[in-house]
Structure 1
């Protein structure tokens, strides 16, 4: 056979290409598909959130606009061979309306790609008609406004490779059929409100590479044992309820580059085999319950760019494994009990953007080589035991935005000019160290500091409010507490950051007033105002001025010298959570202006000179937890309506002029949560009002393992999520022994009805107070026997029944109270032998004096001895009226735990209890989409 010449072959091939191209260009969409698209277009109206922009589909088929060929329309893709529509991409297309299963869209049966993300389909359900698109490879409905469960029709999409439904409201379980869709390569269901248990078999889909499920807090599940042939590249499960351990077989995921399990419920040890995933770029295990050592094998993960292990329960954690991961840009190791020093090997991480080591136990000095981290934007070293001075090299960190050094032992002098060149610095926190901060650029008008959003200079030995603040117009939080700032608040402060300031703390200083009176404080966005523990004497202009701060959440003016009356507005704030006027010289009545829907949780008017009645409108404060009205001149009967407050936990009416009989409650719903009660030093009479108290679940049900302290959080969002935290405190005094509870544990319970005119017997229902820790009924007119059912009060630590008219024996059953450490029945008419055993062996004589009929140890009178005992008491007390003697009683006090910190989570530095001891945690940004 004769061979063709090469030139002829080339001509033939060229002709073939031209012919093919001609055929392809000639392909147009089918008329039926064009009609289906136009019908689909007409089902939508303009999206009101698109600010007048028409939907993308509005241009389809417009005469004089796009052509009749739908293959050229925006967002439409056709096959070059057949002309069939194979792709629809209308992401962010301003579509508004609904799609049901009868939509003409589902007549496009050749579709392989359907992207409708970031539109608004008006909470319509995901249409089951999608199941007709059996050629579909990619389905993207993320952020599209659909709602409802994943329809079973999707199970018919046997060729589906990508299923992306993130940020739509599914609010149901992931159906089991997803585990049978063997073609799936990517499943993205983030922030969908998923519930139930995630089907574990999905992890074993043969082609699955990306499993993205974050921000589904009610989605439970656990990790399987992984197979050698797994294709997984990404596993993102942060902020879910996934639990259990990391399997040691995790090193079978040879292709894994990103593992994000943060803020979930994982536990156990981190297996050393994780160090075999040498291709890993991102590892996030923060905010779980991992324990044991941090595996040293992590040093082999040299490709890592992100590593977050913060807020776990690791043991013996050090930085010895850090240093070889020199590609790291983000390193978060806060709150994991790191000890030791900042090792020189950490200095190898010169690409760091974030170095987060707060809330640990690091010691030594801050090394100067941190100044070599040229890319660093965030440095968190707060809440450690670091000492020495702040390195001068910090002035080289030109990209630094956030510097948190608070709550350490740093010392020396800090000149504010060292931060002058750091133009990006917006958050600087130096509070709670031993530093002396100098405003050293005074008189240098051409030199300015960065514009701060947050500035914490608490306990920095300031004697005046720094003058550089006058030029700060972007401050959101200013912390100057615990200094020695004297004199008046300067008038220039009224023009500082008027539009931005949200938190102002000038507490624990020596401020005496305001330099220039104003009708209103200028910061209309102010959320927290703390001027407590100063010497502010005149209530003007502060008290009237607060009325215009409509966004206030926390107001603390306690421990000043303010006179005057409470403004009428105090009950009208729509957002106020914490109100503290404790320890001033305020007089007049409490305004009866508290509105329905009040958000008030903490109310303290104690230690003033307030008169009149308890305002009935306080019944509108349905979420109130703390009410302290003690040490005033209030004159009222028992405010029985307070019992309807469902969240009330602490009620203190001590040292007022309350009077009358406290009648039995009409229902069993009064005081359902009450845990701490103090009605002492009033004129209440009648029987003991124990039915009110025994109604409270707080006195009966308790968790003996709980260690959380009672507090109030107020959260804010700056660049991180922050929380101001107020702790509640109590003081107990008995027989000269005083115990301060600077933070009340959640399980703490106390009842003080002392120094009133209660009479009659102690009812047996006192035994129902199973959770009570302190009981004081002293200095009343109680009679009859001591109830043996008190033995049921198994947690009781302190019992004072002194100065009554009780008779009969001390029940021997009380020896079963194993925690009882303070016991006083002095000055009653008790008789018989004193119980022995357990805690009774440690009670001294003074607890029994004034009971001539008692006998046995520790008294000198032995049982059977008729000779009256000599008094062993060293106390000289008037035995006349109960109301003239020098009281020896339990005084349940209450002090607002001062604001102690900027934090996220429940960690508080235990060694420092002042207002300004602040800690911070990182909030990982929601950067989880593909």
Structure 2
């Protein structure tokens, strides 16, 4: 570095003398030679700086720096390096290379550095202070790393030319800088640990196109000064702890495409002025404390593709005007206090893929017109007050993946037409008044992963075809009036993790084939009419966590194989007719008496009843003590009765002898 500086000083001195004295002290060819020498020295200097950067890299699994050779005289051909026409390094671009290390303190001495992109690596340490020396920098992208610490309050003075600052998905903390470069176009500090209030000074960055501060710990009100940022394309302050009414005038953001304040604690009403954001594509105010009605003015947003107002306290009806939002793909209004009927006009939103109106107080019937939404993937109307039957036309929704109507007041049968929804993965009809037999056509839904029809009035037997649901993971049909035996085809559900058929009228024996369900974690057959023995094969359920066979008519002994299920945490065999010794090893070692209540013939330490070999004539526990008491009482009673009998006999014998004596005319007669 000293030689470079001396060479530069020498050339500069000669040039100044040449100009000052007015004659050619140095010929042009000599100046060119000296200029080349200076450029060579500059290249060598930049090679040394980049070599030091490489030395701070601990891991380079992709070999991104493999051609960074310290002996090279020109770094411009190195991976990730871009130079200008004078061969000065202007750009370092090494995104998504899985580099591990820290940023060299010398990096900021690159005289012409304009852009640095180290995103998607594993750099650690504070924000590189060396970059504050690069006044030529206009682009900094360090997102998706492991940087930490604070940014300080002043980034504007050291980096006056900065246009892009992307530091998202790191571990930065402290307050946001109050002095930022005035020409900033992109400020992305999302997914960090920044705290405190949003500085009102950000409102002075009038050229800002992107303001992304989501997923931090910011508090306080949204500063009204943000209304000055009329060029914003994206405004995202979601997932913070912002409070107060949203007094910000949203109508000024006429260029906005993304607007999100989701996951805060904002109160008040949603402003109708948001309808002035004619270019907006995504509006998300979910997970706040907003009240009042949904503005009907939202219906003018022709480009809006995503609207989420879930989990607020919104009231009133679902605006019919939303049917005018022809670009809408996702309409999410769940978990509010909306009332009234579902607008039939929503069926005109032909691009709709997700419609979630769940957890409200909507009434009326399900509009059959919804069947025209050919692209619909998710239809969630659960947790309302809907009545009537499921429209059979919904079977036309060929793209449907999730259908959720749980906890309503729907009735009638489950239409067989639903079997045409061949892409269905989730079907939840729990907590309604559905009746009739279980539809056999459901077996055609081979993509189904979760089937829940709990707490209805379903009757009849489970069809054997249920075993054709090869992708099923959750089967919950509890709380119905299903009867008949368990189909052996249940053993074909090789991916099932949970089976709940409790609170029905199922009878017969437990199929031993259920032991083949190696992925099963939860099995509940309680409160039925099952009989026979517990199959030993159930010991093969190596992932089982919960087993409930309570309140049936099972008999025989408890298979010791159940104790070998090391994962078993919850077992309930109470209220059956089981007998014999309760295993005490393996997973049974931690069980209590509650698992075996109301099985009077079971014995073992856990139920405090002693066990004796069969045929020994002995008894055990409390029953044994009562038997001994009864035996003693019986023997005593027999002895007393025997004495009474003997006394009576003696009495009558004596009385008879005396009578004979009188009749024979003895001396005392």
Q: Per the shorter chain, which TM-score range?
A: 0.7 to 0.9
Match of 1:507 among 292, 310, 314: 310
1:522 to 324, 331, 334: 324
Q: How does 1:845-856 map to 2 (within 5 A)?
A: 845-856=593-604
Find out whether 1:251 has 2:61 as its counterpart: no
TM-score, structure 2 length as denominator? 0.75
Aligned-partner SS, 1:600: coil
- Residues 293 and 787 of structure 1, relative CA distance in 2, 3 Å threshold: farther
By how many angstroms is 1:322 displaced?
5.9
* SS of structure 2 residue aligned to 1:420: helix
Partner residue in 2 for 1:481: 286
Match of 1:656 in 2: 456
**Does 2:217 match 1:409?**
yes
| 1:193-592 alignment runs, 5 A limit | 245-246=62-63, 249-252=66-69, 255-256=75-76, 259=79, 279=89, 281-286=91-96, 290=98, 292-294=100-102, 296=104, 299=107, 302=110, 305-312=114-121, 314=122, 318-320=126-128, 323=131, 326=134, 327-342=136-151, 348-369=158-179, 371-372=180-181, 374-416=182-224, 418-436=225-243, 438-440=245-247, 448-458=252-262, 459-495=264-300, 497=301, 499-514=302-317, 518=320, 521-539=323-341, 542-592=342-392
Q: State the shift of 1:407 in Å.
A: 2.2
**Contact persistence 1:520–1:548 (CA under 8 A):** no
Q: Report the 3-state secondary structure (helix = DSSP H, G, I; strand = E; otherwise coil) of the residue aligned with 1:251.
A: coil
- Residue of structure 1 aligned with 2:523, choices 763, 766, 775: 775
3-state DSSP class of the match of 1:250? coil
For residue 547 of structure 1, give the secondary structure of its aligned residue in structure 2: helix
**C-alpha distance in 2 between matches for 1:377 and 1:650:** 47
Cα distance, 1:683 vs structure 2: 1.5
Gap change, CA 1:328 and 1:460, over 3 Å in 2: farther
Asked if 1:610 corresponds to 2:610, the answer is: no
Per-residue CA distance 1:100-124 (angstroms, 9 max, x = gap): xxxxxxxxxxxxxxxxxxxxxxxxx
C-alpha contact 2:360 2:383 (8 A) present in aligned 1: yes
Unaligned residue ranges in structure 1 (runs of 5+): 1-227, 229-242, 262-276, 700-748, 871-930
More helix by share: 2
Following superposition, the deviation at residue 869 of structure 1 comes to 4.7
Greater CA deviation, 762-771 or 828-837?
828-837
Partner of 1:698, secondary structure, is coil
Quick one: which of 758, 772, 779 aligns to 2:506?
Answer: 758
Mark the CA change 1:620 to 1:256 in structure 2 (over 3 Å): closer, same or farther: farther
- Residue 696 of structure 1 corresponds to 493
- CA separation in 1, counterparts of 2:77 and 2:231? 32
Give 1:72's aligned residue. none
Distance 1:752-1:441 versus aligned 2 partners, 3 A rule: closer
Contact 2:344 2:370 in 1 (8 A): no
Q: Quote the offset at 1:306 in angstroms.
A: 4.4
Is 1:309–1:333's contact at 8 Å kept on the other side of the alignment?
yes
SS of structure 1 residue aligned to 2:315: strand
Contact map agreement 2:317 2:340 (CA 8 A) in 1: no
Q: Which structure: larger Rg?
A: 2
Displacement of 1:257 after TM fit? Answer: 5.1
Deviation for aligned residue 1:584:
0.3
- After superposition, the C-alpha distances for 1:36-75 in whole angstroms (9 at most, x for unaligned) are xxxxxxxxxxxxxxxxxxxxxxxxxxxxxxxxxxxxxxxx
3-state SS of 1:771 partner: coil
Q: Deviation above 6 Å: which 4+ runs of structure 1? A: 344-347
Tell me the alpha carbon deviations over residues 634-666 of structure 1, each in whole angstroms, 9 at most, x when there is no partner. Answer: 113222222222321111111111111123239
Between the aligned partners of 2:592 and 2:280, the Cα distance in structure 1 is: 59
Residues of 1 paired with 2:116 and 2:378: CA distance?
Answer: 38
SS at match of 2:503: coil
In the alignment, which residue of structure 2 is the partner of 1:189? Answer: none
RMSD: 3.1
Is the 2:200–2:223 Cα contact (8 Å) retained in structure 1? no
1:812 corresponds in structure 2 to: 560
Q: Deviations over 1:396-452 (max 9, x none)?
A: 222211111122211112233x1232232121112222213555477xx9x945542
Q: Report 1:613-632 matches (<5 A).
A: 613-632=413-432
Residue in 2 that maps onto 1:684: 482
2:222/2:248 contact within 8 Å kept: no
Q: Secondary structure at the match of 1:779?
A: coil
**Pairwise mapping of residues 25-174 of structure 1 onto structure 2 (< 5 A)?**
none
TM-score (norm 1): 0.55
CA pair 809-475 structure 1, distance change in 2 beyond 3 A: same
- What is the SS of the residue equivalent to 2:351? coil
- The structure 1 residue matched to 2:570, chosen from 815, 819, 822, is 822
State the distance in 2 between where 1:315 and 1:441 align.
Answer: 37
d(CA) in 1 for partners of 2:133 and 2:580? 76
Q: Secondary structure at 1:646's aligned position in 2?
A: coil
The Cα offsets for residues 334-359 of structure 1, whole Å up to 9 and x where unpaired, read as 33343332357976444433322223
Residue 296 of structure 1: how far off its partner (Å): 4.3
* SS, match of residue 593 in structure 1: helix
Higher relative contact order (CA 8 A, sep 6+): 1
For 1:636, what is the secondary structure of its paired residue?
A: strand
1:614-636 CA distance string (max 9 Å, x none):
22222222222111111111113
Q: Are the counterparts in 1 of residues 495 and 517 from structure 2 also a CA contact under 8 Å?
A: no
> Is the CA contact 1:537–1:562 (under 8 Å) kept in the aligned structure 2?
yes
CA contact (8 A) 2:362 2:386 kept: yes
Is contact 2:232–2:253 with CA below 8 Å preserved after alignment?
Answer: no
Q: CA deviation at 1:248?
A: 6.2
CA deviation string 1:128-169 (max 9, x = no partner): xxxxxxxxxxxxxxxxxxxxxxxxxxxxxxxxxxxxxxxxxx
Distance 1:422 1:433, change over 3 A: same
Q: Is the 8 A contact 2:103 2:123 kept in 1?
A: no
CA–CA separation in structure 1 for the residues paired with 2:106 and 2:582: 65
Residues 1:593 and 2:393 are matched in the alignment: yes
Q: Do 1:284 and 1:306's aligned partners in 2 also have CA atoms closer than 8 Å?
A: no
Give the number of equivalent residue pairs: 548
Distance in 1 (CA, whole Å) between partners of 2:343 and 2:78 is 55
Q: Secondary structure at the match of 1:529?
A: strand
* 1:803 counterpart = 2:562: no
